[in-house]
Amino acid sequence: MATERDYYEILSIERTASGDEIKRAYRKMAMKYHPDRNPDSEEAEIKFKESAEAYEVLADEDKRRLYDQYGHAGLKGRAGHNFNQMDPNDIFSMFGDIFGDMFGGGGGRARGGPRGNRPTRGYDLETLAEISLEEVLSGCEKDIDFTRQDECDTCHGSGAKPGTDPTTCSTCGGNGQVMQSGLGGMFRMVATCPDCNGQGKVVKEHCPDCRGKGRILKDRKISVKIPAGVHDGQAVRVGAEGEPGLNGGPRGDLHVVIRVEQHSLFVRDGDDIILKMPISFTQASLGAKVDIPTLEGEDEITIGAASQHGDVIKISGKGLPNLRSGRRGNLLVVLLIEIPKKLTDKQEQLLREFAETEDHDVLPHTKGFWEKIKEHLGA
């Protein structure tokens, strides 16, 4: 094999190609030059193996980075496969996720042994947990109720009636897959066995409780620790609480997705929390000390004289903890100056006197609404 050929040239792609583009290019080249389509063609086999070597490098982020920077020299000494010595069917087995097992080894079964009997990891599950902003601050422990498919207690997951055992599937010989030919025998396609659905075994007498499925729905309740600082939409993974695997395979995991309830006073911004605090005109003008709510009770802040609407007072360390470092964010108090809707006679008199000192014109108290409109229109 001409190992010094440019890998991008082999796959006929640009150096900026994405991972999906690399995968599609390799699939196209490998299917084009597969020996089943090119019997007795040494050139096709060489190009087939070149494509596999190029794909192995360019599909791996670390290897691709080294290759882009140093070329073939950057890959020397790194672990890899000697595709020149490999059987083409073994190459397809390595990259079976790309081809969907469209090609297989000789005979009527896929290479690699009975797939239906291999241990397979169970499915992951997902559920929701709602927590308050106060619980984000401190962390909490929640009881989670969920339903999952679990092994049938009667047949222990076999699906067979107690006292009987599943038998080896006669169609696939226990392999779980059958080989089919296509395009006049130009290639072979591996398909799931229609009789055992890929399990390699057939249940003749079904379990009365699970009706041969081997699994039934079960309710489960567990306690899950939710860390302080968690964000809305993040998930807490609980290992081995998903569905059971097949043939002794491990259970999947349970992912508890967090939903943080909307707070009546505070708005979250990362690790900071925002409080919109109404204050009076006099408090903004003259300054004041006021009590404010926090997630841990009350605190006192000082409003400086001549504060403006929208000014922000930062209280360090009164926000939420960072999920990783534990360092707390800030409480940001936004000042909202409220104008009173109703004044006493004394308050109005004082404000008019104040307006005179500002040299600002204000409407006389005795003028009615329509008089004000006429003045505005110049009537």
* Of 60-64, 211-215, 263-267, 356-360, highest mean pLDDT: 263-267
pLDDT digits 0-9 by tens, 2-48: 447 899 999 999 999 998 899 889 988 888 888 777 777 888 888 98
**Residue-level pLDDT at 118:** 75
Give the other-Cβ count within 10 Å of 221's Cβ.
8
For a pLDDT cut of 70, what percent of the chain falls above it? 80
Alpha-carbon distance 197 to 176, whole Å? 7
**Residue-level pLDDT at 81:** 62
Asked if the model's pLDDT at residue 192 lies above 80, the reply is no
pLDDT digits 0-9 by tens, 314-325: 999 999 999 999
Alpha-carbon distance 167 to 248, whole Å? 18
Asked if the model's pLDDT at residue 58 lies above 70, the reply is yes
Name all contacts of 11-15 with Cβ < 8 Å and 24+ positions apart: 11/51, 11/54, 11/55, 11/58, 15/68
Asked if the model's pLDDT at residue 86 lies above 70, the reply is no
If pLDDT is split at 50, 70 and 90, which confidence band does 146 have?
very high
Task: Report whether 312 contacts 303 (CB < 8 A).
Answer: no
Asked if the model's pLDDT at residue 110 lies above 50, the reply is no
**Residue-level pLDDT at 105:** 39
In this structure, of 42-56, 83-97, 218-232, the range with the lowest mean pLDDT score is 83-97
pLDDT digits 0-9 by tens, 220-241: 999 999 999 999 999 999 999 9
Helix (H, G, I), strand (E, B) or coil at 143: strand
If pLDDT is split at 50, 70 and 90, which confidence band does 201 have?
confident
Annotation-wise, does 196 bind a ligand? Answer: yes
Alpha-carbon distance 159 to 247, whole Å? 12
pLDDT digits 0-9 by tens, 133-142: 999 999 999 9
Annotation-wise, does 210 bind a ligand? Answer: yes
**Residue-level pLDDT at 75:** 77
**Residue-level pLDDT at 2:** 44
Alpha-carbon distance 36 to 190, whole Å? 14
Q: Which domains does the chain have, with CATH numbers?
A: 7-99 (1.10.287.110), 125-260 (2.10.230.10), 266-338 (2.60.260.20), 345-377 (no CATH)
Asked if the model's pLDDT at residue 111 lies above 70, the reply is no
For a pLDDT cut of 90, what percent of the chain falls above it? 49
Task: Report whether 332 contacts 273 (CB < 8 A).
Answer: yes
pLDDT, averaged across the chain: 84
Alpha-carbon distance 70 to 33, whole Å? 29
Asked if the model's pLDDT at residue 189 lies above 80, the reply is no
Asked if the model's pLDDT at residue 216 lies above 90, the reply is yes
**Residue-level pLDDT at 80:** 61
Annotation-wise, does 152 bind a ligand? Answer: yes
Annotation-wise, does 172 bind a ligand? Answer: yes
Annotation-wise, does 140 bind a ligand? Answer: no
Mean pLDDT to the nearest integer, 51-61? 89
